[in-house]
Amino acid sequence: MNKRINISHPTKVVLWAKSGGRCAICKKEIIMERKDNDPTPIGHIAHIEGFKPNSPRYNPNMTDKERNSYYNLIILCPTCHTQIDKDPNYYTVERLRQIKREHEKWVKEQVRINIPDVTFAELEVITKYLISVSMLESNQKLTIIPPKEKIQKNGLSSEVENLIIMGMIGIEQVKDYLNENPDPDFAGRLRNGFVQKYLELKQGGVAGDELFYELWNFASINSDDFKIRAAGLKILTYFFEICEVFEK
């Protein structure tokens, strides 16, 4: 009987977000845009320590849950996935874990580098999308609390906290952009769409770091463009500070 690969949705979200939508080895973009602008992933979620007994780098001492966990998975393009499995003597467990660490560090640095270069043009691309997918306003009342307290209460990791601090650099730019919009209801509709996405995820049981990365992907329209992701981080951080997301 064949074993079934069962990778949880939250694990996939974190993997894709931290990979920046790029192959960890060749850095190739692995999110393909379809005609309806719905992004389609063309990359592979690969196991570092193989999933099946005959797989490269298989570890019999691991449980299937451990095999399908974030720490044993890496995002690769189809070519690089084939390459690592054909040459397991070179692509050892230790080498692949190092490749993954260095790639995620590189992705985070690319976002940081692009934050000062974000313009109103990138913010407009994102906000138009967010408003286009806005849902009906909810009557649910949430409690606004300071960002530091939100981080602690929601058990967000130090890595996510560093991303929030990085995004704080752009809050004033987001405020200026919203204030200059000629539509007086624009900021309210944008806020409503964002809070509704937050509530939808919460009601679906998403929490902690996974919730943050889901919202970042949403705020970045699931783009693999580093400038768009930097703009999305600014917008996410803006809402993190001023409205009812990650409430007490």
**Rounded Cα distance, 8 and 11, in Å:** 5
The single-letter code of the amino acid at 128 is: K
**Rounded Cα distance, 13 and 238, in Å:** 21
**Rounded Cα distance, 72 and 66, in Å:** 7
Q: What is the DSSP letter of 72?
A: G
Q: Check residue 136 and give its pLDDT.
A: 46
Q: Check residue 174 and give its pLDDT.
A: 92
φ, ψ of residue 45 in degrees (nearest 5): -90, 110
The single-letter code of the amino acid at 89 is: N
Residues 6+ positions from 161 with CB-CB distance below 8 Å: 151
What would the two tokens of residue 90 be?
Answer: 């070179």
Q: What is the mean pLDDT of each run of 10 residues along the chain (248 residues)?
A: 72 91 92 59 88 93 94 95 96 97 96 94 88 57 64 85 90 91 85 84 89 92 90 91 68
Domain ranges of the chain: 9-109, 118-242
**Rounded Cα distance, 45 and 93, in Å:** 15
* Residue in the structure block whose two tokens are 């780098």: 57
CATH number of 9-109: 3.40.50, 3.40.630, 3.30.390, 3.40.1800?
3.40.1800
Q: Which of 6, 4, 7 lies closest to 210 in space, CA to CA?
A: 7
Q: What is the DSSP letter of 44?
A: E
Dihedral (Cα; 96, 101, 106, 111), 10-degree rounding: 130
Transcribe 202-248 into DSSP letters.
HHTT--HHHHHHHHHHHHTTT---HHHHHHHHHHHHHHHHHSSSS--
**Rounded Cα distance, 224 and 247, in Å:** 28
pTM, to two decimals: 0.84
3-state helix, strand, coil in the chain (%, to 5): 55, 5, 40
